[in-house]
Amino acid sequence: MTDPLVAALTAKLDAYLADLATLVSIDSGGRSKGGVDAVNAWLADCLKTLGFAIEYDRQAVVGDNLLAIRPGRGRKKILLLGHSDIIYPLGTVARRPIVMQGNKLLGPGTCDMKAGLLAGLYAIEALLAAGFEDFGAIYYLSVSDEETH
């Protein structure tokens, strides 16, 4: 018997890959405030649809940090932490666009760490859709400067 969460997430694989391509196509490297802010704005829009309140820690040079909070009905708190900047210099996405090779999506920042940001988002969505609310709050934090410091 297949786990219902695994089945739900497997059914969304094409949507996940399309969303990943969208995120990877946003150039958020080389201290790109605009690119990092665009990644976090995209994530914030998705999180809002799941009932998250959105807060930003505004930054002057690097992108703004995103904190999304969703209360539950339990006691334990959950933190998902990632970063929206990538190690590659600004302009790399234009020089090395996203390609699909077999079952692999390749592009700057795919594994570090846009796929992780998106995996967390999809996991939250699947748990909420299954009715899981036994948490005090879920905190989704996307920092802007992991690669720059």
Question: What is the bridge-based pairing of β-strands 104-106 and 99-101?
Answer: antiparallel
Provide the residue-wise pLDDT of the chain in tens; the chain has 149 residues. Answer: 689 999 999 999 999 999 999 999 999 997 899 999 999 999 999 999 999 999 999 999 999 999 999 999 999 999 999 999 999 999 999 999 999 898 889 999 999 999 999 999 999 999 999 999 999 999 999 999 988 76
60 assigned to some structural domain: yes
d(CA 9, CA 83): 23
148 assigned to some structural domain: no
The CATH number of whichever domain residue 57 belongs to comes to 3.40.630.10
Q: Which of 115, 41, 58 is nearest to 82 (CA)?
A: 115
What pLDDT score does 104 carry?
Answer: 87
Question: Rounded to two decimals, what is the model's pTM?
Answer: 0.95
46 assigned to some structural domain: yes
What pLDDT score does 25 carry?
Answer: 96
**Cβ proximity of 139 and 22 under 8 Å:** no
44 assigned to some structural domain: yes
101 assigned to some structural domain: yes
> What is the tally of structural domains in the chain?
1
Determine the structural domain holding residue 68 and report its residue range.
4-143
CB neighbours (10 Å) of residue 98?
16
109 assigned to some structural domain: yes
103 assigned to some structural domain: yes
149 assigned to some structural domain: no
